[in-house]
C-alpha cells in the first residue's frame, strides 16, 4: 500500500487524470456488461460494453447498439452517470462529494483540478469548481424540465421527466446519447422532431452552453453586473458565433434541394435543421436529419466542424475553436506582412501560436493514421471512415452508419481515438512523456530555408 502511495505521489497531473478516466471506463464496462444492464437480461459482449462506457465517459455518443432499445433502465442510468462524470470531469465530481462532506481540498487535488479544467492559475480554483457545478446543474435542470413538459404531451409525466433528465445531461455534456429508439426506431436521434421548435431550441441551447467552456459560461453569467468579458471569452464567442452561422448557411445552401433532407421541410424546418446540424458537429452528437442522406459536400463540412470541435475548458473535443482562430489569425498576419497575431487589439504570444500548430498537426496525424489503419480492416468508402475517425477524435458521436458494423479491431481503434480525443493530444503526450520545465541555456545559430 505504501509503495502504491509513493508511485501515486510521483505521478504528474496528466498521468493521474489519464488513470482516473481509465478507472471510470473500467467500472462502467463492468456494470454495462452485467445481464441486468440489458433489456433482454443477457450479458452484453465485453467489447460492446467497453465501447459504450468509453463513449459515455469521453462524452462522444458513438454507439454499437441502440441505447434506448438495447439497455435496461439500469443500463441507461449507468450511462447517464458516466456522461455526467465524463462531462464535468471526475475531479470536479470528486470535489462535489468532498465539499458535501466538508473535506479540505489538498494542494495536490487543486493541481489536478487546475489541469482538468485547463486553468492557468490555482487561485480561486475551488471557488470556480463550485460555480461550475452550480451552472451545470441549474442549466441541466432547466433543460430537463422544459423537455419533460414538451414530452408529457406524448407520454406519462414520470417517463417524460426521465427522458428530459437523460437528454438534458447528454446534450449539455455534449455526449450525444439518446434513448429515442423505442419511440422513433433504432439510431433515430431527434429525426422525428425536425420541425419541433421546443426540442430544437432547447437542444441547440444545451449544446452551445455545454460547448463554450465553463470560464466563458461564468463570465456570461456575471456579464449583466460586470459588463466585461475577458480576451479569451471574446475570442471563443466570436469564433463560435461565426462557425455556427457560417455552418448553418452552408448546410442550408447545400441541402436546400436535397429530397432526402431539407427539400420536403417547411421554411422553419429548414432553418431549424440547418442550425441544428451546424451546432451538433461542435461535439454535440445529436441530429435531426439523416446524416448518411446528406450530400458529400455537407458531410465533409461536418468533418471540418467536428475537427475544430468545442471550446477549451468544456466537455467537447476537437482541436478547439481558439486553436482554429489562432491559426486563421496567423495566416492573415502572414499575408498582411505582420509579425504578430492580433485579436481585439491584443497581441498573442508566440508560444500560443506554436501550441496551436502543435495541437493541429498532432491531431491531423492521429486522424490520418487511424483512418489509414481502418481502411485495411473495414470494407467501406474512405469518406465514411474519415467521418467516423474524426467524430471519435472530436468526441462528437455523429456517424454515417458505420459504428454498429465495425469489426472488433475497428471498435478497438475507435475506442482509442475517443479516449485520445477526450484527453487531448497534448495531455496524452505529457502523460507518456512529461514536459521538461527546464529552460535551455543556449540557442543555436539561425538557419534559413526556402518556403512556398
* pLDDT for 283: 83
How far is 63 from 435, CA to CA, in rounded Å? 35
Strand, helix or coil for residue 91: helix
Residue 452 lies in a domain: no
Helices within 117-196 (DSSP H only): 125-151, 157-172, 181-184
Q: Is 357 helix (H, G, I), strand (E, B) or coil?
A: helix
Report pTM. Answer: 0.90
C-alpha distance across the termini of the chain, in Å: 58
Q: Using alpha carbons, select from 147, 21, 141 the residue that is nearest to residue 89.
A: 21
Q: Is residue 116 part of a domain?
A: yes
Query: 343: part of which helix (H) or strand (E)?
Result: strand 342-343
pLDDT of residue 223: 87
In a domain, 266, yes or no: yes
- Residues 161-177 as b or e (16 or more Cβ within 10 Å = b): bbbbbbbbbbbbbbbbb
Q: Long-range contacts made by residues 299-302, C-beta under 8 angstroms, separation at least 24?
A: 299/383, 299/387, 299/400, 300/383, 301/247, 301/250, 301/251, 301/254, 302/277, 302/387, 302/398
Task: State the Cα–Cα distance between residues 309 and 243, nearest whole angstrom.
Answer: 10
Exposure of 380 by Cβ count < 10 A (0-12 exposed, 13-18 middle, 19+ buried)? middle
Compute, in degrees rounded to 10, the torsion defined by CA atoms 271, 313, 383, 178: -60
CB neighbour list of residue 193: distance below 8 Å, 6 or more residues apart: 199, 200, 288
SS3 347: strand
Residue 443 lies in a domain: no
Using alpha carbons only, how large is the chain's radius of gyration in Å? 22
CA torsion, ordered 50, 53, 54, 59, to nearest 10 deg: 160
Distance CA 173, CA 162 (A): 17
Q: What is the DSSP string of 371-404?
A: HHHHHHH--S-HHHHHHHHHHHHTT----SS-GG
Rounded Cα distance between 283 and 392, Å, is 10
Domain tally for the chain?
Answer: 1
Report the C-alpha gap between 295 and 400 in whole angstroms: 12
The whole-angstrom separation of Cα 273 and Cα 200 is 8
5 falls within a domain: no
Vertex 387 angle, CA 381 and 393, to 5°: 140
Are 41 and 79 contacting, i.e. CB atoms less than 8 angstroms apart?
no
Determine, yes or no, domain membership for 439: no
Residue 89 domain flag: yes
Are 211 and 283 in contact, with CB atoms under 8 Å apart?
yes
Residue 400: the pLDDT is 94
pLDDT in tens, the chain (452 residues): 566 556 555 666 667 777 888 889 999 999 999 999 999 999 999 999 999 999 999 999 999 999 999 999 999 999 999 999 888 875 565 555 555 555 565 555 565 555 555 555 556 667 777 888 888 899 999 999 999 999 999 999 999 999 999 999 999 999 999 999 888 888 889 999 999 999 999 999 999 998 888 888 888 888 888 888 988 899 999 999 999 999 999 999 999 999 999 999 999 999 999 999 999 998 888 999 999 999 999 999 999 999 999 888 787 889 999 999 999 999 999 898 888 898 988 898 888 898 899 889 999 999 999 999 999 999 999 999 999 999 999 999 999 999 999 999 999 999 999 998 888 766 665 555 555 555 667 777 877 777 76
Alpha-carbon span 348 to 352, nearest angstrom: 7
Whether 444 maps to a domain, the answer reads: no
Q: Is the dihedral of CA 73, 79, 84, 87 positive or negative?
A: negative
Cα angle value 435/318/118 (rounded, 5°): 45
Contacts of 113 (CB under 8 A, 6+ apart): 91, 92, 95, 105, 119, 125, 126, 129
**Domain carrying residue 164:** 13-432
Amino acid at each position: 500500500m505504501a509503495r502504491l502511495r509513493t508511485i501515486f505521489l510521483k505521478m504528474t497531473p496528466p498521468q493521474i487524470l489519464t488513470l482516473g478516466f481509465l478507472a471510470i471506463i473500467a467500472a462502467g464496462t463492468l456494470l454495462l456488461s452485467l445481464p441486468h444492464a440489458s433489456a433482454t437480461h443477457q450479458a452484453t459482449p465485453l467489447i460492446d460494453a467497453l465501447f459504450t462506457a468509453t463513449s459515455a465517459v469521453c462524452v462522444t455518443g458513438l454507439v454499437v447498439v441502440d441505447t434506448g432499445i438495447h439497455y435496461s433502465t439500469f443500463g441507461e442510468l449507468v450511462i447517464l452517470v458516466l456522461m455526467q462524470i465524463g462531462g464535468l470531469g471526475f475531479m470536479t465530481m470528486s470535489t462535489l462529494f468532498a465539499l458535501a462532506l466538508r473535506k479540505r481540498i489538498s494542494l495536490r487535488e487543486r493541481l489536478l483540478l487546475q489541469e482538468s479544467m485547463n486553468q492557468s492559475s490555482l487561485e480561486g480554483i475551488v471557488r470556480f469548481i463550485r460555480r461550475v457545478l452550480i451552472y451545470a446543474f441549474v442549466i441541466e435542470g432547466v433543460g430537463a424540465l422544459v423537455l419533460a413538459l414538451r414530452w408529457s404531451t406524448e407520454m406519462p409525466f414520470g417517463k417524460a421527466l426521465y427522458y428530459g433528465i437523460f437528454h438534458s445531461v447528454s446534450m449539455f455534456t455534449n455526449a450525444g446519447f439518446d434513448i429515442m429508439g423505442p419511440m422513433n426506431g433504432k439510431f433515430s436521434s431527434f429525426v422525428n422532431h425536425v420541425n419541433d421548435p421546443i426540442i430544437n431550441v432547447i437542444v441547440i441551447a444545451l449544446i452551445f452552453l455545454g460547448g463554450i467552456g465553463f470560464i466563458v459560461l461564468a463570465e456570461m453569467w456575471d456579464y449583466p453586473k460586470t459588463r466585461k468579458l475577458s480576451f479569451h471569452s471574446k475570442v471563443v464567442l466570436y469564433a463560435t458565433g461565426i462557425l455556427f452561422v457560417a455552418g448553418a448557411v452552408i448546410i442550408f445552401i447545400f441541402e436546400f434541394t436535397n429530397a432526402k433532407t431539407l427539400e420536403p421541410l417547411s421554411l422553419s424546418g429548414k432553418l431549424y435543421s440547418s442550425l441544428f446540424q451546424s451546432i451538433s458537429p461542435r461535439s454535440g452528437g445529436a441530429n435531426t436529419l439523416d446524416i448518411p442522406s446528406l450530400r458529400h459536400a455537407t458531410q465533409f463540412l461536418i468533418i471540418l466542424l467536428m475537427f475544430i470541435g468545442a471550446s477549451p475548458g468544456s466537455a467537447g473535443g476537437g482541436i478547439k475553436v481558439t486553436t482554429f482562430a489562432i491559426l486563421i489569425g496567423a495566416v492573415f498576419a502572414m499575408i498582411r506582412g505582420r509579425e504578430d497575431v492580433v485579436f481585439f487589439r491584443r497581441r498573442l504570444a508566440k508560444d500560443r501560436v506554436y501550441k496551436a500548430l502543435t495541437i493541429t498537426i498532432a491531431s491531423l496525424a492521429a486522424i490520418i493514421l487511424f483512418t489509414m489503419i481502418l481502411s485495411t480492416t473495414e470494407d467501406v468508402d474512405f469518406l465514411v471512415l474519415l467521418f467516423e475517425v474524426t467524430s471519435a477524435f472530436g468526441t462528437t458521436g455523429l456517424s454515417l452508419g458505420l459504428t454498429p458494423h465495425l469489426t472488433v479491431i475497428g471498435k478497438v481503434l475507435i475506442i482509442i481515438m475517443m479516449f485520445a480525443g477526450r484527453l487531448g493530444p497534448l495531455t496524452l503526450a505529457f502523460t507518456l512523456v512529461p514536459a521538461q520545465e527546464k529552460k535551455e541555456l543556449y540557442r543555436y545559430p539561425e538557419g534559413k530555408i526556402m518556403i512556398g
